[in-house]
Amino acid sequence: MKIDVLTIFPEYFDSIFEFGIIRRAKLAEIVEINVHDIREYATDKHKMVDDRPFGGGDGMVLKVEPLFAAIENLTGTSDRDAYPAGTRVVLLTPQGKPLKQADAQNYADDAKHIVMICGRYEGVDERVTEALVTDEISIGDYVLSGGEPAAAVFVDTLVRLLPGALGSDTSAENDSFSDGLLDCPHYTRPAEFRGMKVPEVLLNGNHAEIEKWRHEKALEKTRSVRKDLLIGENGDM
């Protein structure tokens, strides 16, 4: 998979993709990540990428010309209906669809090239959204100073789902939200610490009992912390 990140603060990403799973995935050529300065696509002598909004109001808006030029350069077209197969242009914005684990899995399964636009200020010129953006994504119901942290979260969520990125083929399958539940509790050595003991069921080697216990604990945790995940379309638990 290829990921291109468009931002006015490329230095934000100087080291953030150089750790852990993402770094290993890059070295293994599972993913290619490139960060681009939107200012490189501005054509005026001052390299302006933002301007005051028409109609007045607070803040600034990211200009249309640099973003069109950037997307045209990265995808070969400024017509989202003509993007190469597997190409997604994602705008990170508080107005976007909340990112869910299932969405990340769909991107990992189907996307070959993802271009992420990091919003800033009051947002981007709406013509960018109308003509170029295939998906608007939010990482939560709150406002950030810009889309850079959201892009970092999205990349991390996505890369770990790519085949071969994790040490175990089943690690991602057992994560929280993968089956609609939060993850179960986990323990490691020692079996007892300051009087606190690891549940006996995890020590007996009976894998059927262990899986049953893990499911029950995941259900218990979800019911306690995120009951909304258990509510069906008809409102039943």
pLDDT value at 210 more than 70: yes
Average pLDDT over the chain reads 92
Are both 96 and 207 inside the same structural domain?
Answer: no
Find the CATH number of the domain harbouring 183.
1.10.1270.20
**Among candidate residues 198, 197, 118, 115, the one with its CA nearest the CA of residue 150:** 118
**Beta carbons within 8 Å of 235's beta carbon, 6+ residues apart:** none
Find the CATH number of the domain harbouring 127.
3.40.1280.10
Which one of 109, 133, 159 terminates a domain?
Answer: 159
Confidence of residue 234 (pLDDT cuts 50, 70, 90): very low
pLDDT of res. 8: 97
pLDDT value at 48 more than 90: yes
Are both 13 and 125 inside the same structural domain?
Answer: yes
pLDDT of res. 57: 87
Least confident residue range of 20-24, 77-81, 147-151, 171-175 = 171-175
Please give the Cα distance from 132 to 162 (Å, whole number).
Answer: 25
pLDDT of res. 235: 41
Q: How many CA atoms lie within 13 A of 111 on its CB side?
A: 26
Mean predicted confidence (pLDDT) in 145-174:
87
Please give the Cα distance from 170 to 132 (Å, whole number).
Answer: 36
Q: Are 201 and 213 in contact (CB under 8 A)?
A: yes
Q: State pLDDT tens for residues 178-190.
A: 678 999 999 999 9
Residue 168 lies in a domain: no
Least confident residue range of 25-29, 184-188, 222-226, 228-232 = 228-232
pLDDT of res. 161: 96
pLDDT of res. 170: 59
Per the structure, the count of domains in the chain is 2
**Among candidate residues 100, 98, 99, 97, the one with its CA nearest the CA of residue 176:** 100
Which one of 159, 192, 219 terminates a domain?
Answer: 159
Mean predicted confidence (pLDDT) in 128-156:
96
Q: Are 94 and 134 in contact (CB under 8 A)?
A: no
For 215, the 3-state DSSP assignment is helix
pLDDT value at 156 more than 90: yes
Please give the Cα distance from 14 to 18 (Å, whole number).
Answer: 8
Catalytic residues: 94, 122, 160, 175
Q: CA 87 → CA 28, 63, 75, 200, distances in Å?
A: 22, 23, 8, 49
Domain span at residue 52 reads 2-159
pLDDT value at 177 more than 90: no
pLDDT of res. 179: 72
Which one of 128, 159, 190 terminates a domain?
Answer: 159
